[in-house]
Amino acid sequence: MQLKLTFNIKPVPHQSVRIGRNNIAYKPKKIINYQVAIRALAIAQLPKGFEMIPAGTEITIQRLSYQFEYLKSTPKKRRTGKVPKTTKPDLHDNLNKAFMDALEGIVFEQDQNIVKIKNLEKYYDKENLITLILKY
């Protein structure tokens, strides 16, 4: 089966766990808010009767794209379609970590069942958007 989800939200990279006072590790509030928003958007888009993809099921991500809104400093004549984003955050580690952790327990039981990511990209365009197409 195939599932397509679209999230109208700015992609947020997952930073390392922070160490606070008394050497207590915590997750930054920015990441927690992002993951709560992703979960809410995912639940709203899931088809009726959708059951979470169980552990042990191979999941292939057909497409995962992170679209960032153009910077305000980008001239309007250069805002033509997709422009590759070559700056931070790192595509494979930081962006995927927070996003996949947010979907775990809603779309799939364990994100470790993702065996292949075919089309992974990050770029600038007109609005902030995350597109996910997965096959299981």
Instruction: Tell me the pLDDT tens digit for each residue of 77-107.
Output: 888 889 899 888 877 778 999 999 999 999 9
Write the CB contacts of 96 (distance below 8 Å, at least 6 apart in sequence). Answer: 64, 120
0.85 exceeded by pTM: yes
- At 104 the pLDDT is 95
Give me the residue label for tokens 């992170």: 66
Name the percent of the chain lying above pLDDT 90: 74
Q: Among all chains, which residue has been given the structure tokens 């775990």?
A: 104
Q: Which CATH number fits domain 2-135: 3.40.50.1820, 3.30.110.30, 3.40.190.10, 3.30.1330.70?
A: 3.30.1330.70
Average pLDDT, the chain: 92
Calpha distance 116→107 (Å, rounded):
16
Is 115's pLDDT higher than 90? Answer: yes
pLDDT at 90: 79
Q: For residue 22, is pLDDT > 80?
A: yes
Residue 84, preceding bond cis, omega within 30 degrees? no
Hey, where are the domains in the chain? 2-135
Is residue 112 classed as helix, strand or coil in its secondary structure?
helix
| Cα–Cα distance measured from residue 50 to residue 42, given in angstroms and rounded to the nearest whole number | 12
